[in-house]
Amino acid sequence: MKLLVLGGTKNLGRHVVEAALRDGHQVTLFNRGLTAPELFPEVERIVGERADPAALARGEWDGVIDMSGFLVRDVRRSAEILRDRVGHYTFMSSIAVYADRRTPGQTEDAELLPWPSNAPEDEFTMDLYGPSKVRCEQLLTDLYGERTAAIRSGFVVGPYNPDFGNWGQALATGGTLECAARPGQPIQWLDARDLADFLLLVTAKRLAGPFTAVSETWTMRDLLEAWRSVVPGELAVDWEPEVDRFHLSHDGSNDGTFQLANGRALAAGLQVRPAAVSALDCVRWIRAGHTPPPPPH
């Protein structure tokens, strides 16, 4: 498959490219060339800005995976310029698209957040993050029809990714596991490598529509214990740390966000590795001299 990746050198994106090269796909990267430019010297690179994707006006690809689509304006421009020269457009979306944050078991057909009146399409704020992903999904469906898919995920763990990186750091160094959440807090997650494989699968098979790509629901206590099990001894746990790295509502008002139905993604081929495997790989990665990136809050 000839694959175009928008982004591809940061966090989840680098796992997508690594998986694509592993599977023998021909990869082209489109990005600014500023983040980790030394990565993947064997692939074709197109340097440009999302705000002005004129550099994408030539070339054809079997599929595109959009890892850097945050501003509606930018996604619209890249989608329009690529529409007649790519077979399939896979968009990295988010579970932040869902309007109901309380009800468990919601599927991809659940109500989505509306676009605020007079909101700008060329500015990014955390308040617009969910609505922007919804608007991007909708404009891609309008342009591509059945030739597009949106992958909705939440916490993404593992090497090169920020989520739960503080746990990995504590496990690697013998520190305290800080968890600003209720022990019974529902939580869903996914290893970045499993998410990367699923993004590739959806693109290669040209699957249509949205997919909620998350694990089964855990409690925060059970997930923490699964991570803590990968190193000897019983590390201390702090349920009320000074720094809140998770930003979860403690009153239950956001619990439904982490009790989403993942059956459609599983049926399509999503694989979810054990939590302890992700934890151990994160620990090994940190002990090899790496530092988890900070969470985007």
Is residue 29 domain-shared with residue 10, that is, in the same domain? yes
Locate all alpha helices (DSSP H) within the chain, ordered by sequence: 12-22, 72-82, 129-144, 165-173, 192-205, 220-228, 263-268, 275-287
Chain Cα centroid distance, residue 41 = 24
- How many separate domains does the chain show? 2
Is residue 90 domain-shared with residue 162, that is, in the same domain? no
Q: Tell me the residue range of the domain where 283 lies.
A: 157-189+216-251+273-287
Q: Judge whether 241 lies within some domain.
A: yes
Is residue 79 domain-shared with residue 36, that is, in the same domain? yes
pLDDT (average), residues 203-226: 98
CATH number at residue 225: 3.90.25.10
pLDDT of amino acid 295: 77
Read off the pLDDT of residues 105-144 as tens digits, 9 standing for 90 and up: 999 999 999 999 999 999 889 999 999 999 999 999 999 9
Helix (H, G, I), strand (E, B) or coil at 3: strand
pLDDT (average), residues 55-81: 96
Q: Judge whether 267 lies within some domain.
A: no
Amino acid at 238: D
CATH number at residue 83: 3.40.50.720
pLDDT of amino acid 116: 95
Q: Judge whether 257 lies within some domain.
A: no
Is residue 97 domain-shared with residue 242, that is, in the same domain? no
Q: Is the pLDDT of residue 54 over 80?
A: yes
pLDDT of amino acid 234: 87
**Predicted confidence band of residue 296 (pLDDT cuts 50, 70, 90):** low
**Helices 220-228 and 275-287 meet at what angle, rounded to 10?**
50
Q: Is the pLDDT of residue 93 over 70?
A: yes
Helix (H, G, I), strand (E, B) or coil at 234: coil
* Sheet with 2-6: strands ordered across: 44-47, 26-31, 2-6, 63-66, 89-92, 148-152, 209-212
Is residue 205 domain-shared with residue 279, that is, in the same domain? no
Q: Judge whether 102 lies within some domain.
A: yes
What's 25-41 look like in SS3? CEEEEEECCCCCCCCCC
Is residue 225 domain-shared with residue 87, that is, in the same domain? no
Is residue 134 domain-shared with residue 176, that is, in the same domain? no
Residue 85 in contact with residue 147, Cβ under 8 Å? no
Mean pLDDT of the chain: 96
Handedness of CA 3, 134, 129, 73 (dihedral sign): positive
Q: Is the pLDDT of residue 161 over 80?
A: yes
| Residue 14 to residue 34: CA distance in whole angstroms | 14
What's the chain's Rg over C-alpha atoms? Answer: 19
Closest to 32 in 3D by CA, of 67, 3, 59? 67
Q: Is the pLDDT of residue 297 over 60?
A: no
Is residue 9 domain-shared with residue 140, that is, in the same domain? yes
Is residue 126 domain-shared with residue 53, that is, in the same domain? yes
pLDDT (average), residues 276-294: 96
Is residue 183 domain-shared with residue 118, that is, in the same domain? no
Read off the pLDDT of residues 215-268 as tens digits, 9 standing for 90 and up: 999 999 999 999 999 999 889 999 999 999 999 999 999 999 999 999 999 999
Closest to 189 in 3D by CA, of 100, 70, 277, 294? 277
pLDDT of amino acid 294: 84
pLDDT of amino acid 143: 98
Distances (CA, A) of 256 to 65, 74, 265: 28, 30, 18
pLDDT of amino acid 124: 87
* Of residues 252 and 295, more confidently modeled: 252
Amino acid at 258: F
| Residue 114 to residue 86: CA distance in whole angstroms | 29
- Which residues are paired to 3 by β-bridges? 27, 63
